[in-house]
Amino acid sequence: MTPIPFKDLRGPILIVAPHPDDDVLSSGGVIQKAIRTGKPVHIVYLTNGDANTGSIRNFLHAPSIPAPFRRLGRIRHLEALKAEAFLGVSSKRLYFFGFPDAHSLPIAKSTNENQVFRSPFTLWDRARYSFSFNRNAPYTRKTAISLFTEILKKVKPKTIIVNRADDTNPDHRAARIFLMDALRRTRMKPLILSYLIHFPKWPSFKGPFVPPVRLNTRNVRALSLSALEQRKNLQAFRLHRSQFHAHDRISRLIRQKEIFWLG
């Protein structure tokens, strides 16, 4: 892997997180370095992660009906605020779109940009959370692209960090589709760094922290973290208490370096 000097990541930096906690897992070190060097960091959350049945069962101890899913969305919003405040990012630079968790990919792939979708978990067909970036925005492809376009024009990022297209989580794939469609509607040419959260046998339980074999290409870059930065990443992730049931598995992404792919 080729090291990437942090100075190559020009600000403002925009991080796209399909769910709360993806920002910390993918880019917590980037965030810390940016705050320390005065580079603005902005974060978009596509969903509030409100369809996590494991959290409903193991954290809320509630039945899988709309009210607990909506409550989980509010909890995960607060967890994201706390985690990013711990890392130094102002809540004014966090944007929650409130799109349907576990149901955004059908929207991204819809051939009818005005088709309205409904979350099978919250039973909402629009961003009903009071903290939504555009409250009551309908769940349509057109809306999602417009929201991303609005953020791009507002932030004018020089660096964008977003998940890879082949991440196996459907919401992760949807977030990238929306972002790339929005980018094509602007004349912006930011540096794009792609990260990976969900992929078969990734990250491995044993051995060095390296990309999956078939993704270990020439465009892989690694950002080294100090022991303190790594420790703060783990502390920030632990503020997502509703996700404790997944901590052993997913916290393996928090290592001595953050891995990205160019483009």
Mean pLDDT within 81-92: 99
CB-facing half-sphere around the CA of 157: CA atoms within 13 A = 26
**Residue 33 — very low, low, confident or very high, per pLDDT cuts 50/70/90?**
very high
Residue 55 has pLDDT above 70, yes or no: yes
Q: What pTM was estimated for this model as a whole? A: 0.96
Burial tier of 38 (Cβ tally within 10 Å: 0-12, 13-18, 19+): exposed
Structural domain count of the chain: 1
Please report, for the domain that includes residue 212, its CATH number: 3.40.50.10320
pLDDT in the model for residue 204: 78
46 close to 104: Cβ distance less than 8 angstroms: yes
At 16-26, the pLDDT tens digits run 999 999 999 99
Helix (H) or strand (E) holding 141: helix 141-155
Averaged pLDDT score across all residues of the chain: 96
246 close to 183: Cβ distance less than 8 angstroms: no
187 close to 41: Cβ distance less than 8 angstroms: no
Q: Which domain holds residue 73?
A: 2-262
DSSP 8-state code for residue 129: S
Mean pLDDT within 229-254: 86
236 close to 88: Cβ distance less than 8 angstroms: no
More confident residue, 75 or 247: 75
DSSP 8-state code for residue 39: -
Strands (E), 100-170: 159-163
Mean pLDDT within 156-164: 99
Residue 154 has pLDDT above 80, yes or no: yes
d(CA 257, CA 31): 13
